[in-house]
Amino acid sequence: MKKIIFFTVILFALTSINTQAQNYNQAFGFRTNFNGYITFQYRVSAGANNFFNLEANFKDDYDDDYGFGTSVSADYLWSWNVGPQGLVFYAGTGAYAGFINKKYKYTSDESKINIGVRGYAEIEYRFDNSPIALSLTIIPTIDFTPEVRLPYQSYGGLGIKYCF
């Protein structure tokens, strides 16, 4: 019961702040699919439609190719207002590096370092008079180490951001 009250109070506080989220300069958020991603966006300069995007990813032991691990990524993004007010499209490219340990999946203790490049496409809805934005992201990747390969899936997922 305490958790429900806590999250209700937090949600009310976030949605009652009189901020115009349409023109935010920074955003901190969380995105999920099978993993958890912590995200941070920073506008390149005032009035620009370009952003730096930084992410930390925490992988779980969820498939046969990867074990437990973590990675960090940095992207350069362009943004465009599309459709109804509050709808924004981002596109960009970046790089990532990560550490993967297959110890929990296989009998041998196998650790690898992944380095690669990635594309980035996101559609975001920014609520008027609220610092909250919801997003849907697709991130195709190409690994260069430990071997060159196109992963069988694109990463991405559903996200929520606090804009300031």
What number is the average pLDDT over the span 112-132? 91
The parent domain of residue 127 ranges over 2-163
Q: In this structure, what token pair is assigned to residue 46?
A: 């005032």
Q: Whose structure tokens read 């969820």?
A: 62
**Least confident interval from 35-39, 82-86, 98-102, 127-131:** 98-102
* CATH number, position 152: 2.40.160.20
Residue-wise pLDDT for 50-64, tens only, equals 999 999 987 765 455
The residue with greater pLDDT, 108 or 105, is 108
Q: How many domains does the chain have?
A: 1
Residue 44's pLDDT is: 92
Residue 131's pLDDT is: 94
**Least confident interval from 25-34, 111-120, 145-154:** 145-154
Residue-wise pLDDT for 69-87, tens only, equals 788 999 999 999 998 888 9
Q: Which backbone phi and psi does 35 adopt, to 5 degrees? A: -120, 170
The residue with greater pLDDT, 62 or 29, is 29
